[in-house]
Amino acid sequence: MKKDLLRPIFWENDSLKLLDQRQIPGKKEWYVAKNSKDAIFAIREMVVRGAPAIAITGLFGAVLELKNFSLKPDYQTFQNILSQILESRPTAVNLRRAFEELSSLFPKETFEKISLSELQQKSEEFAIQVFDEDIRNNLALAKNGVSLFPSSPSKLNIITHCNTGALATAGHGTALGVIRSLKEFGHDLTVFADETRPYLQGARLTAWELMEEGIENYLITDSMAGWLMSSRKIDAVIVGVDRVAANGDSANKIGTYPLAVLAKHHGVPFYIAATEKSFDFKIADGSQIPIEMRTQDEVTRLNFLKNEKGEPILPEGVIAPVGVKALNPSFDVTPASLIKAFITEKGIVLPDKIKDFFG
């Protein structure tokens, strides 16, 4: 029997329930957001993460905030709510695109005319639509991804990075969605998941999703990918993305760029799986993508995960000299020249064709 789709985000009776990804794989706990502040906390502290899931959480955060008003806010207050949520994490473009679409439903003149309940209802409908679309698009892109591989069941070895699964989206996932669909197709799949230092999305989340799904997998440290590509046949690297610039340069989780360089060196196809919502044609190239810098603690400690009270979730585990300076850029940019193709819900597209492709 087919397993139910793993879902990290629930919108039920005006409440936003998020599977707390800081706790996985230890336990499955739900974080309930009641207003935009809670949604901002959830995004910033990575209760929820992954570009599509951030956008959906941000949208419902705005809906929650609007539902807390008993008198209609003025236009500026509405815009301020969106800008505050938008500041929560800078690199992924999905949230900005979602808010631009939401705002376009209420140009200033329309906004002045509608009632509070219309504003609340239309915003909620839009958030639900984005949520539903994300699952549909992920299933469509995964199907397109499957078309890149042999048409009869084969032995496939795939490397992935970070977590791009159901946890990072409304469901199914992008890169991990392609991997899920390859398995459903009947391929004999082995997935090598980079642990993804320093935040360990690969170790904590991807390994967990793959094990839950019954997909054969090995966890590797990020530094092992070169050894792997030089010592056995790897059929593809498939990763997700946070923002694609107009020339195809792609910002994704730190460690993606070296993986792409290794893939090029070893002749392994390097694919990026993403929906159109991750493309940002307003910026010419990757140098204009803001790279989030996160706390040094994530580099110097193993117990950087904290609960709402600020207490460590894991036991003490410092791994570097106290006081050492550390860098922690959370994303890097893979030049378009290293990307074989983008796997999208609308088809497979080459990096130099993305602008024409999406019109």
Asked if 201 is part of the footprint of ligand MRU (rule: CB under 6 A), the reply reads yes
Compute CA distances 236 → 11, 196, 265, 358, whole Å.
36, 18, 13, 25
**201 labeled binding residue:** yes
Q: How many residues are given for the chain?
A: 359
Contact 284, 62 (CB under 8 A): no
**89 labeled binding residue:** yes
Closest-CA residue to 12 (of 131, 122, 103, 138)? 131
Contact window for ligand MRU (CB under 6 A) among 60-68, 140-148, 168-176, 348-356: 168-176
Q: Which is nearer to ligand MRU, 201 or 217 (CB)?
A: 201
Asked if 162 is part of the footprint of ligand MRU (rule: CB under 6 A), the reply reads yes
**325 labeled binding residue:** no
Sheet holding 9-12, edge to edge: 9-12, 15-19, 30-33
Asked if 252 is part of the footprint of ligand MRU (rule: CB under 6 A), the reply reads yes
Q: How far apart are CA 153 and CA 348, in angstroms?
A: 21
Contact 8, 172 (CB under 8 A): no
Contact 163, 205 (CB under 8 A): yes
**252 labeled binding residue:** yes
Q: Which is nearer to ligand MRU, 168 or 305 (CB)?
A: 168
3-state secondary structure of 348: strand
Q: Which is nearer to ligand MRU, 168 or 228 (CB)?
A: 168
Structure token digits, residue 31: 């974080």
Asked if 43 is part of the footprint of ligand MRU (rule: CB under 6 A), the reply reads no
Long-range pairs of 15-20 with CB within 8 A, sequence gap ≥ 24: 16/57, 16/60, 16/61, 16/64, 18/42, 18/47, 18/48, 18/57, 19/48, 19/167, 20/47
Q: Which residues are known to be catalytic? A: 242
Asked if 50 is part of the footprint of ligand MRU (rule: CB under 6 A), the reply reads yes
Closest-CA residue to 131 (of 300, 275, 312, 299)? 275
Q: Compute the least distance from the CB of residue 330 to ligand MRU, in Å.
A: 6
Contact window for ligand MRU (CB under 6 A) among 46-54, 69-77, 145-153, 315-323: 46-54
Under rule CB under 6 A, how many of the chain's residues touch ligand MRU?
Answer: 17
Q: Compute the least distance from the CB of residue 165 to ligand MRU, in Å.
A: 8
Q: Which is nearer to ligand MRU, 69 or 276 (CB)?
A: 276
Task: Name beta bridge partners: 73.
Answer: none
Asked if 240 is part of the footprint of ligand MRU (rule: CB under 6 A), the reply reads yes
The number of helices, as runs of H, and strands, as runs of E, in the chain is 13, 14
Q: Compute the least distance from the CB of residue 80 to ligand MRU, in Å.
A: 24
Asked if 51 is part of the footprint of ligand MRU (rule: CB under 6 A), the reply reads yes
From the number of C-beta atoms within 10 Å of its C-beta (0-12, 13-18, 19+), residue 329 rates as: exposed
Contact window for ligand MRU (CB under 6 A) among 12-20, 105-113, 120-128, 240-248: 240-248
Q: Compute the least distance from the CB of residue 278 to ligand MRU, in Å.
A: 7
**49 labeled binding residue:** yes
- 282-341 residues near ligand MRU, rule: CB under 6 A: 330
Contact window for ligand MRU (CB under 6 A) among 24-32, 101-109, 160-168, 300-308: 160-168
**CA 29 from chain center: how many Å?**
20
| Residue ranges at the known binding site for substrate | 49-51, 89, 201, 252-253
Residues that bind ligand MRU (CB under 6 A): 49-52, 92, 162, 164, 168-169, 174, 201, 240-242, 252-253, 330
